[in-house]
Amino acid sequence: MSYPPRRQLIAGLVAAITIALAITAHAVFSPAVLAHYAESPDSMGIAGWAADATAPIIASWFTGVWIQADSPYYRPLSSIAFWLQYKAFGYNFQGHVFVSWLIHAWICALIYLLALRLLPGTGRQRVISGLMAVLLFNVRLTPLGPHWPTAPIGYAVVAWWPAQTDQWSLAFSLAALLALDGWLQRDRPSGLWQASALWVTAVLFKEMAVIVPAIAAVLITYRKGLAGLQLYQSTEDGSRRLAPGPVWTVALPGLVAVAAFLALRTQLVRGAWGPEQREPGYLIVKLARYVAGRPITYVIAHWGELWFPVTAVFLVAILVVWVRMRSRPSAVWLVLAMILGAGLIAQVLGGNFALITIPRTLGRLLSVTLFLAGFVALVQVRAPVTWYLLVMALGVIVPVLHVAGPHYHYWPAAFWAIFHASIILWLWERGKRENDEFLDSQPEASV
């Protein structure tokens, strides 16, 4: 799908960049954030290695360990970026954070553009959905964990400038997917070559981009259907000839290139950190934490407070019943039933109906309720793009199943944002359709 009219496109793009800059601005100008870097081993270490870098050392970043020499990674382009920032700003880390701020705005613009291309609807609907994806990306909270501040992921990554490795890699990967989609839609003839160059650049910034060929396979299948997966094609005489679809000619060579890169990386960087052998149970739990981290954490941490997960199930159930009623009563009655029911459950299982008025407790309740409501909505979604986006979001998690830390959630957050925006768009369209059907069914008033 092409972009909407130019005026709508540009207005939405400006709004997306504004959202990104406004929500994360505090990280750039907060004295408390900037003071942290004076005692940060990572930031001081990277700046120190940049200060000592000579021409041979810079060249060695392409054949060995990157600029942060005590971390066995192969990230030559990230090393160059950090070195250039040191040359520009020295130990004034506000400059480094400012660069992170601008990259984040660029990423949000790319998320907006990718949502415009993938999501259905009118131009106005797609612009609003794209902006919704940007907003969701910026407000998505980091996972709970020891010594991890609870903050939006975008803010946390901007504030922690060494996480530019994640940013640069994600930015070039999103640009690669946009170029590939343009090629698939036949409005960007050189898109495949552009996508390949952008993807290689992303990999050289951070290894996270090795997942892009798999995401590309999902995108190709969404655009081309079974034709993207075909190996043979029938001819006029009834025979079959080899005619592999783009999944085999584009995505598969990309996966082969990934395997070759990882093999070469083990030779260039001895002891390079990468995926570790884990028990299946660990991977399942980690995947669940990525998909539903906050609800699961709340339920486990407050296991004795049985009333609030039970209340969440009740709230979702009564909402589903109300939506499915042929003749719905006023929403006022729905809200009243929710409040009274939640208070009754809190009284019986928690010992006090007023539990539903405590802000922190109410926040936990709403988190679990929203997750369950979203799951119920997902089960009913018939828009194919939503399911393809879900596969993309789950695929992005795979490279980071063995690691921990807030900045590793930056990549998944981008894809979750577009996925959730597609669900909201589907609910919006369904609600509008049902409302139109209801109005059409009403008898016209006689004069």
* Range scoring the smallest mean pLDDT among 19-23, 276-280, 294-298, 443-447: 443-447
Question: In angstroms, rounded to a whole number, what is the distance separating the alpha carbons of residues 48 and 291?
Answer: 38
pLDDT band with cut points at 50, 70 and 90 for residue 303: confident
pLDDT value at residue 2: 67
Q: How much of the chain exceeds pLDDT 90, in percent?
A: 49
Burial of 376 (0-12, 13-18, 19+ CB in 10 A): middle
pLDDT value at residue 329: 83
List b or e across 250-259, with b for residues whose CB sees 16 or more CB atoms inside 10 angstroms.
Answer: bbeebbebbe
pLDDT at 148 over 60: no
Helix then strand count (H, E) for the chain reads 19, 2
pLDDT value at residue 409: 87
Q: Which of 217, 153, 123 is nearest to 416 (CA)?
A: 153
pLDDT at 445 over 60: no
Domain chopping of the chain, boundaries: 6-276+402-436, 290-379
What are the tens digits of pLDDT across the range 152-167? 889 989 988 999 999 9
pLDDT value at residue 416: 93
Give Cα 350 distance to the centre of its chain. Answer: 36
- Of 348 and 148, more confident: 348
pLDDT value at residue 447: 44
Using alpha carbons only, what angle is made at residue 390 by residues 386 and 393, rounded to the nearest 5 degrees? 135
HSE-CB at 197 with a 13 A cutoff on CA atoms is 6
Secondary structure of residue 141 in the 3-state scheme? strand
pLDDT value at residue 435: 61
* Range scoring the smallest mean pLDDT among 9-13, 77-81, 119-123: 119-123
Q: Which of 282, 281, 284, 300 is nearest to 368 (CA)?
A: 300
Q: Which two three-digit tokens encode residue 384? A: 């194919």
- Of 90 and 294, more confident: 90
Give the pTM.
Answer: 0.89
> Who's near 406: CB < 8 A, 6+ residues apart?
142, 143, 145, 148, 149, 151, 153, 156, 157, 160
pLDDT at 254 over 90: yes
What are the tens digits of pLDDT across the range 324-363? 887 778 889 889 999 999 999 989 988 888 888 888 888 8
Yes or no: say if 377 and 416 are a contact pair by the CB < 8 Å rule.
no
pLDDT value at residue 231: 82
pLDDT at 389 over 50: yes
Question: In angstroms, rounded to a whole number, what is the distance separating the alpha carbons of residues 1 and 40?
Answer: 46
Q: Which of 147, 198, 140 is nearest to 411 (CA)?
A: 140
Burial of 118 (0-12, 13-18, 19+ CB in 10 A): buried
* Range scoring the smallest mean pLDDT among 128-132, 187-191, 302-306: 302-306
- Of 371 and 83, more confident: 83
Yes or no: say if 209 and 228 are a contact pair by the CB < 8 Å rule.
no
pLDDT band with cut points at 50, 70 and 90 for residue 364: confident
Q: Which of 432, 393, 384, 379 is nearest to 125 (CA)?
A: 432
